[in-house]
Amino acid sequence: MKSVPLSVPWLTCPKPNPRARLRLFCFPYAGGSSSAFRQWQDGLPLDVEICPVLPPGRGGRLREAPFTRVGPLVAECAQALMPFFDKPFAFFGHSMGAIVAFELARWLRRMGHSQPAILFVSGRRAPQVPDTISHTYNLPDADFIAELRRLNGTPKEVLEHPEIMALLLPLLRADFELIQTYNYAPEPALACPIAAFGGLGDEVGSGACLEAWREQTTGRFSLHMLPGDHFFLHTARPLLLETMARRLNESLESTV
């Protein structure tokens, strides 16, 4: 089996592992990049290859226009990743990334391709739960930055640096538009297991909204609430990876 080439635009692989038996594709949150998953390999099983996904508009793809709709992003991402679904794989997505990972799994099913061994969704209500939050992607700059400050996902020193914010605002607005204009279309539940994660102090993804992910699988479902706010994937990373490692080991055992 081939390892992921570092030159593939949609993927970064900090520690290529051609002997891995399963690939974990990680999808970033709004404004996030593949760098959010750079340290994950050390906390997960050796048989798992971490493959952070890098959509346009961030990291080494900063000059490319970011997507503003989920459907086109998923379709292009699917075509780019298809060569790397040649061995068992799993998806992890946080916030915006949870919806992208979910819709990619459904796209693969519609096209008759393999399903992920497990889908990890984090910090995002189930897709069928109505959105009660007003759109913020089109707010004036000052109000939009205030919303970023409230969400606590952008470092204070970045928010207070006008030159950096001038570079980041187009991507952040595009990502917010992408997820805030997402329209869920009902389809049969996925067959793959789903494990949902939430932060105990997260105002965006409450336990009830995360519990509703149960409706999206005919397989095993589990919900794990961790300490922290919306960005608990950073502050509670050891606990998150410990839980994920257990589930990934179960998936690896089932492929033997």
Mean pLDDT of the chain: 91
User: pLDDT, tens digit, for every residue of 200-215?
Assistant: 999 776 788 999 999 9
Instruction: Please give the pLDDT value at position 256.
Output: 55
Q: What angle do CA 138, 93, 169 make, to 5 degrees?
A: 25
Half-sphere exposure of 241 (CA within 13 A, CB side): 19
Strand partners, 91: 25, 119
Domain ranges of the chain: 22-130+187-254
User: pLDDT, tens digit, for every residue of 25-34?
Assistant: 999 999 999 9
Strand partners, 53: 11
d(CA 25, CA 97): 11
Q: Which helix (H) or strand (E) holds 177?
A: helix 162-180
d(CA 151, CA 201): 11
| Catalytic residue of the set 33, 34, 35, 95 | 95
d(CA 124, CA 29): 10
User: pLDDT, tens digit, for every residue of 110-130?
Assistant: 999 999 999 999 999 999 998
Q: Is 35 in the active site?
A: no
Are the C-beta atoms of residues 55 and 10 closer than 8 Å to each other?
yes
Q: Which carries the bigger pLDDT value, residue 12 or residue 240?
A: 240
Residue 101 scores a pLDDT above 50: yes
Q: pTM for the whole thing?
A: 0.93
Domain 22-130+187-254 has CATH 1.25.40.10: no
